[in-house]
Structure 1
């Protein structure tokens, strides 16, 4: 079996990063829900400590998002460069691979737009 093309590798990178960013957003929602739950029921002895820890985790997750967005931008650029190289080479990549790359670019741009 032939190794994956540069286009396929770059496309996979964009797809993985978009999924990674989505998981960070899901994690943010879960952390915010846990904080609200702890604030609503402060009966436990160490609830202040737990709230502090959850807020710290929330801030750490928020701090990761700009870096992930930048990685998505860079990965999109790589895919666009590979698509351009493919066109210059006469379209040697399979059509399915090109379509998948274009879909990944669209998903990456949508992810960046939604998170800013």
Structure 2
């Protein structure tokens, strides 16, 4: 099995970042739901205030990841687009399948960027 091309590596990297960003969004929503539940709950739990504070801190940390991830996605997208342009030359080494996957990854990245804007 031949080593993956630079295009395939860049595509995988961009896909991983988009999936990571989606995972952070899910975690963010989950944390918001836990905070809402803790705020509504009239539990006599002596640790409720501490737990609420910790959940809010975790929510802030998750929220702080979004700008960094967006920048990484934009950089990886630009790198992949550059790799696609480079592969269009006479010594085209990439398979049509790799090119299709790269274009799909770029589309997914654009969608993720638009959602966070």
2:11 maps to 1:8:
no
CA distance in 2, matches of 1:42, 1:87: 63
Q: Which moved more, 1:50-59 or 1:81-90?
A: 81-90
Q: What is residue 92 of structure 2 aligned with on the other side? A: 91
| Structure 2 segments unaligned to the other structure (5+ residues) | none
Shift of 1:45: 1.0
| Structure 1 segments unaligned to the other structure (5+ residues) | none
Q: What is residue 37 of structure 1 aligned with on the other side? A: 37
CA distance in 2, matches of 1:8, 1:48: 48
Q: What is residue 64 of structure 1 aligned with on the other side? A: 65
Superposed CA RMSD in Å reads 0.9
Shift of 1:90: 4.5
Shift of 1:42: 3.4
TM-score, normalising length: structure 2: 0.96
2:22 maps to 1:55:
no
Residue-by-residue CA offset, 1:59-80 (whole Å, 9 max, x unaligned): 0000011000100000001110
Q: What is residue 75 of structure 2 aligned with on the other side? A: 74
Q: How many residues align?
A: 116
TM-score, normalising length: structure 1: 0.96
